Amino acid sequence: MKLDSGDITQLTVDAIVNAANRSLLGGGGVDGAIHRAAGPLLLKECQSLGGCETGQAKITKGYDLPAKYVIHTVGPIWKGGEAREKELLASCYSESLKLADSHDINAIAFPCISTGIFGFPKQLAAEIAISTCKSYHEDTGSEIEIIFCCFGAEDTDIYKKLLSSSL
């Protein structure tokens, strides 16, 4: 597991993960950036997917992105912590990884799902992201390379600290 900072749309990896909404038809934040960089054919493919439930994931091609695939996952909206938000966020990471492993993807980059517009506390979200990915590697034996793409100093700091203590 490693850390990268900056714009996920610029990363040359097999797959980048999109923090989408249940319609899968685009939005603001990283979702908007991914659709802008991938071009209109991404939206066209997304329109054929029939949306996605919170905590689940669906895959499309990457079109004009350097990444070959986009894995769209829908994080939970933070409602105070008693609405299965933690479990649903963990599910976003594990379902995205399962999908990646079934498509021969060797490296995948995640944004900090749910921590922007959806309001999930950043520190808690990072702890869930890292522990879920670590367990996925341990439980499945998968060797997929996982990159946490932090956008901004606050997330970069949080991940730096957590990764140095968990590796």
CB closer to ligand AR6 out of 50 and 141: 50
CB closer to ligand AR6 out of 62 and 111: 111
CB closer to ligand AR6 out of 85 and 155: 155
Q: Minimum distance between the CB of residue 105 and ligand AR6, rounded to whole angstroms?
A: 18
| Rounded-to-integer distance, Cα 133 and Cα 146, Å | 8
Q: Minimum distance between the CB of residue 147 and ligand AR6, rounded to whole angstroms?
A: 11
- Cα distances from 41 to residues 11, 23, 108, 116, in angstroms, run 19, 16, 21, 25
Q: 162 with 130: CB under 8 angstroms?
A: yes
CB closer to ligand AR6 out of 12 and 140: 12
Q: Minimum distance between the CB of residue 22 and ligand AR6, rounded to whole angstroms?
A: 8
| Rounded-to-integer distance, Cα 142 and Cα 140, Å | 5
Q: Minimum distance between the CB of residue 20 and ligand AR6, rounded to whole angstroms?
A: 5
Which token pair is 32? 């908007």
- Cα distances from 77 to residues 20, 71, 82, 108, 136, in angstroms, run 11, 19, 11, 23, 23
The footprint of ligand AR6 (CB under 6 A) covers 7-9, 19-21, 27-31, 33, 75, 111-118, 149, 151-152, 155
